[in-house]
Structure 1
C-alpha cells in the first residue's frame, strides 16, 4: 500500500485502492489505506495545519475605564491617497490613531511614509490628545524608528533643532506576519476608506478637502453608539466616543425656572401621552443652587408634589401667571 501511495504521488486514493483490489484481496482495504498517510512523512508535511492556542484574556488596554482617552493607543498608516497640487498629483498617507479603550479615532495627514513624517504625526496627535501611556502598532520601519526616538526620550525634527520630550511611553509591537493582532485599527481603516469613497467617489481631493473629509469621517466614526440603542424610551441616549471626547452638553445650559401659575403636563411613563394630566403650578421649591427641584400642583383630587424632571411646561401665552 505504501508503494501504491508513492506511485500515485500520494494522490488519487480511489485509483490506488482499485489497483490493489485488482491484485490482492485485503479485508477492510479502504480503512487500512487511510492509515498510510499517518506513517508517511511527506503526507504529514502536506496535511500539517496550525492549531491556534486558546484566546488570551482581554488586555488591560481594553479595560482602562478610569484612564483618560487615548491612554492606550493603536496606530497604523493607510494610503497613499492622491491629492491635486496645482496641475500635478502628490501622494498623502493617513496616520490613524485609535483609543483601545473608548474605540475613538484620530487622524493625521502624513506627507511621506518615512520616519520624520511619522514623528511629526505623533507629535501633532499628542498636542491634541495628550501623551499616551502605551502605543501598539505593527512592525513598520517608520514605527520602529519612531519607537527608538521614544525610547531615547528625545526627538529632533529635521534641522530645526526642535526637541520634544516623551514621558515614559511604552511602545508594543505585534508579532511579525500577524495582521489579525491589529484588528482594532484595521477595521477602522476599512470604515474610513468607505466613508471617503462615499464623500468623493473618484477620490479627487486637494490637501484642504482631504483634511475636511477626514475630519468628517472622524466625527462619523466617533458618533457611533457603543451601547445598545433602546427604542423603548426617548430619554436614554446611547453612549458614543464623542460623549467622552467632547463632553456631554446636557448640564451646560440653564433651563428657565418653573413659575407659579404655569400650565404644565405631568409626565407619567405608565400612561399614554394623551392621558397625561394638565394642571396649574401652585408652588415651587427652590434648592440652594437656585434651581427649582420640586413643584406643587393642584388637581381635582388634591395637591400633588412632583420633581421638576417629571414636569413639562406648556407654552400657552401666560405671563406672570395671569
Structure 2
C-alpha cells in the first residue's frame, strides 16, 4: 500500500512492463539488480523498495539499528539491504542514527558559534606576560624513584602571554590553592609581576583571592619604584643606577623599571646609549602593531553565526577527564550574551546545582519530537489512510 501511494507513477509503469525493478507475484516492487547469479536468497537478490522519508522506512531503519546494537550507518544499511532497499539509503540511515540519543552520546558533537572579537588586552603592545592568561592541564603521571611504587598524578599550570602568545609552564603536584600559589610565585620570580591575570574562575583560582592579596603586597614594587625615582632625581648620573640584570634578558627590562618616554619619534643620532635601547624596543612594538596585529583580523574557524541554544535544551557537558558516556547531563536555563549579542556562555542546571560553561563545552542532545524511538509498525492500511487524510 505504501508503494502504491508514494511510488504510484513507478508502480503503474511496472505493472505492464518487464523492466527492472519489477513487481513480484505478491504485488511488491523489488530491485532487479545484478546479483541474479549469486548464492544469496531471493529477498537479498531482490530487496523490497521502500520510499524515502516514510514512517515505515524510518521504523524499519530504527529496528535494524537496534538489532545491530547501534552500529554505524554502513553496517546498518548493509543489514537492511539483505531484505529491503530504502531509497536514498545512506542518508536515510544517517538521519535516523543522528537522532539517536545513545549513538550521539558515544560520539557527541560540541556546539559552535561565531568567533568573538579579540579583547583589548590582546591588542596592546606590552612586554611579555604583562597581561597573562592561566589554566591547568593534565593530569599527567610520573613514576617515583621508589621501586614498585604506583605512578603519581601531577598537573601543569599554563601561563600564556596575551600580546605575544609566549607560553610559560609550571609543574604542580595537585589542584589545590597552595600549589597554585607556589606556581604563581615561581612564575612571577621568572617573568616579572603581571598587570592582569585572566583565568576560568576555577575553584583553586577563586580560593586564592586572600592569598593573592598578600602575594601582591610581597611582589609590589610601587614603593621601590618611587624610591628609585627619587634617587634618580638626586643623583647626578642616574644612568649608573640602571645596571644589567637577568630580568633584562627574561622580560626585556628590570623588574622595577620605570615607564620610559616615547623616543621613537626622535632622531636616533641625538639619543644616548640607553635611549637607543628604548628606541629599538619601541620600534619593535610599532612593527608588532603594524605587521603581526593585522594577522589576527581573520577568523580561522567559527566563521558563521548560529542560533543560540534555546532555554530548556538538554545538553551534555564535555569533560576531558571522562569518557563521553559519563559526561553529565544538564539543562540550559540562561544565555549570557556578549557585546555583539552572541551567547557564547550558558548557565546550566545540573544534578549538583547551577554552573556556567562555554558553548564549545556543550553537546546539544538531538531531542526532537520526530525522533524515531519506539514507533510501531503500521498495520491494516493505517499508513494509507493517514497519508490520504494528510
Same fold by TM-score, threshold 0.5 exceeded? Answer: no
Normalization by structure 1: what TM-score?
0.35
